[in-house]
């Protein structure tokens, strides 16, 4: 069988820096585990805009469709704030999600033992936390029509449309149930069925799909209550399934429970391709962090862990994914900290590449 292929889109801000460490780790797997991945690279976001005047070139889109998986760094930055909406860096990311049809966005919020007192919540509320948010990623208000800013009488009106078909709700729900089956077998679906028809339909469809997963305990929650419960007692959740916009918000909320945005990976998965692998894009949850970009300060762990998700979900290398996740965990337990993970009394933070060095050393030690 040929080597799996990975398209790297490092993007903007700290994206290229953190990706540099991931590339070293990819090489390590090639050299030490005989797991050779064919890597190619291209531009996305502001970097693509600077080169081509668009945040994602058609050739790059085509390469993403061909690749076994895409690994994205981050997009955006103050230099692009005033660009026209249609060419903003974020549009590149949204185009990838939409055209690759990556409907299931997996956002784990996992609290590393070594970091459990980083949370703004009390340690006991978050220690051992392990939630998986499945966010529907290709529909809802992000893409619904009509949308735009229109003239209406003597003023303008801004319109976006929340729109969900049954099949869109269903395919995401199946992804969420499948994940729940591999975890604690509990799924909480979140919508606003009390005020939105799309929420009523959402609840109906998820309930219908549940019949195929009798082992999974399904519950429903209004998304506002879900936000409250996430900060009140987050460990009550195993898998959460929710729509695109609620998922955007709830996943930020869940991410911050762990206290360390620099640690969180994500996977966006679509339908299986001919080779059986799902269409997939992996990216850290953090953004381009312009305030620290170019200074070698960024924490590469979220991007490294996103690559671990690629090993698990795209390359069928669960054991190697475990190895990489354990290496990151060991490095944290040893007290290696980038600036975002510093607390009062800690000594000097390590640089992006020193964090990479430490992870590589832990990988060597795992052999």
- Binding residues for ligand IPM, per CB under 6 A? 90, 93-94, 248
From the CB of 88, what's the least distance to ligand IPM, in Å? 9
From the CB of 94, what's the least distance to ligand IPM, in Å? 6
Stretch that binds Mg ion, among 228-236, 242-250, 261-269, 302-310 (CB under 5 A): 242-250
Q: Nearer to ligand IPM by C-beta: 97 or 330?
A: 97
Contact between 329 and Mg ion by CB under 5 A: the answer reads: no
From the CB of 129, what's the least distance to ligand IPM, in Å? 19
| Total interface residues for Mg ion by CB under 5 A | 1
Restricted to residues 286-305, the positions that interact with Mg ion (CB under 5 A) are none
From the CB of 137, what's the least distance to ligand IPM, in Å? 8
Is residue 222 within 8 A of residue 117, CB to CB? The reply is: no
Nearest to 246 by CA among 320, 345, 164: 164
Out of 12, 17, 21, 248, name the contact with Mg ion by CB under 5 A: 248
From the CB of 90, what's the least distance to ligand IPM, in Å? 4
Q: Nearer to ligand IPM by C-beta: 93 or 169?
A: 93
Choose the one of Mg ion, ligand IPM, none that binds residue 267, judging by a C-beta under 5 to 8 angstroms depending on kind. Answer: none
Active site residue 34: no
Active site residue 142: yes
Stretch that binds Mg ion, among 217-225, 244-252, 269-277, 317-325 (CB under 5 A): 244-252
Is residue 253 within 8 A of residue 110, CB to CB? The reply is: no
Q: 215 burial class (0-12, 13-18, 19+ CB within 10 angstroms)?
A: exposed
Q: Which residue is nearest to ligand IPM (CB)?
A: 90
Give the tokens for residue 20.
């540099």
From the CB of 28, what's the least distance to ligand IPM, in Å? 28
Active site residue 340: no
Q: Which residue is nearest to Mg ion (CB)?
A: 248
Catalytic residue among 192, 279, 297, 330: 192
Stretch that binds Mg ion, among 37-45, 147-155, 202-210, 246-254 (CB under 5 A): 246-254
CA dihedral defined by 43, 48, 54, 57, rounded to 10 degrees?
-30
Stretch that binds Mg ion, among 28-36, 240-248, 310-318, 332-340 (CB under 5 A): 240-248
Q: Nearer to Mg ion by C-beta: 248 or 317?
A: 248
Distance separating alpha carbons of residues 231 and 120, to the nearest angstrom? 9
Is residue 294 within 8 A of residue 331, CB to CB? The reply is: no
Can you name the residues that pair with 278 across neighbouring β-strands? 272
Sequence-distant (6+) residues with CB within 8 A of 282 are: 69, 70, 71, 72, 265, 266, 267, 268, 306, 307, 309, 310, 314
Choose the one of Mg ion, ligand IPM, none that binds residue 238, judging by a C-beta under 5 to 8 angstroms depending on kind. Answer: none
Choose the one of ligand IPM, Mg ion, none that binds residue 93, judging by a C-beta under 5 to 8 angstroms depending on kind. Answer: ligand IPM
Catalytic residue among 142, 213, 282, 313: 142
Choose the one of Mg ion, ligand IPM, none that binds residue 184, judging by a C-beta under 5 to 8 angstroms depending on kind. Answer: none
From the CB of 290, what's the least distance to Mg ion, in Å? 16
Sequence-distant (6+) residues with CB within 8 A of 318 are: 311, 312
Active site residue 248: yes
DSSP 146-173: EEEEEEETTEEEEEEE----HHHHHHHH
Catalytic residue among 248, 279, 313, 330: 248
Nearest to 280 by CA among 46, 31, 110, 71: 71
Peptide bond into 146 cis (omega under 30): yes
CA-to-CA dists, residue 2 to 7, 41, 315, angstroms? 15, 19, 12
* H helices present in the chain, as ranges: 15-33, 46-52, 58-66, 89-99, 123-126, 166-182, 197-210, 223-232, 244-257, 301-313, 318-333, 352-365
Active site residue 192: yes
Q: Nearer to ligand IPM by C-beta: 4 or 13?
A: 13
Binding site for Mg ion (CB under 5 A): 248
Give the catalytic positions in this structure.
142, 192, 224, 248, 252
């Amino acid at each position: 069988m040929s080597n799996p292929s990975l398209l790297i889109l490092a993007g903007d801000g700290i994206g290229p820096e953190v990706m540099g460490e991931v590339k070293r780790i990819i090489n390590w797997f090639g050299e030490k585990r005989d797991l050779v991945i064919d890597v190619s690279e291209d531009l996305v976001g502001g970097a693509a805009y600077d080169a081509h005047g668009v945040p994602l070139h058609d050739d790059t889109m085509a390469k993403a469709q061909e690749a076994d998986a895409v690994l994205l760094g981050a997009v955006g930055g103050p230099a692009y704030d005033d660009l026209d909406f249609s060419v903003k860096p974020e549009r590149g990311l949204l185009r990838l999600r939409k055209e690759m049809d990556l409907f299931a966005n997996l956002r784990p919020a996992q609290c590393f033992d070594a970091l459990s007192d980083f949370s703004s919540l009390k340690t006991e509320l978050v220690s051992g936390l392990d939630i998986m948010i499945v966010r529907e990623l290709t529909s809802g208000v992000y893409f619904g029509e009509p949308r735009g800013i229109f003239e209406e009488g003597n003023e303008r009106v801004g319109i976006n449309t929340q729109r969900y078909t049954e099949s869109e709700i269903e395919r995401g729900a199946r992804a969420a149930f499948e994940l729940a089956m591999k975890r604690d077998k509990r799924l909480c679906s979140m919508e606003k069925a009390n005020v939105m028809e799309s929420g009523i339909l959402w609840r109906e469809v998820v309930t219908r799909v549940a019949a195929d997963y009798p082992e999974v305990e399904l519950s429903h929650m209004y998304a506002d209550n879900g936000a409250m419960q996430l900060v009140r007692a987050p460990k009550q959740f195993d898998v959460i399934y929710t729509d695109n916009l609620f998922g955007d918000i709830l996943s930020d909320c869940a991410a911050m429970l762990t206290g360390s945005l620099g640690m969180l990976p994500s996977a966006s998965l679509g339908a299986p391709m001919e080779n059986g692998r799902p269409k997939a894009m992996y990216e850290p949850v953090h953004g381009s962090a312009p305030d620290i970009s170019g200074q070698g300060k960024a924490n590469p762990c979220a991007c490294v862990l996103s690559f671990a998700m690629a090993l698990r979900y795209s390359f069928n290398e669960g054991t190697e994914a475990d190895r990489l996740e354990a290496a990151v965990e060991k490095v944290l337990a040893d007290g290696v900290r980038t600036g975002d993970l510093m607390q009062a009394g800690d000594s000097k933070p390590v640089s992006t590449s020193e964090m990479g060095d430490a992870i590589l050393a832990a990988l060597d030690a795992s052999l």
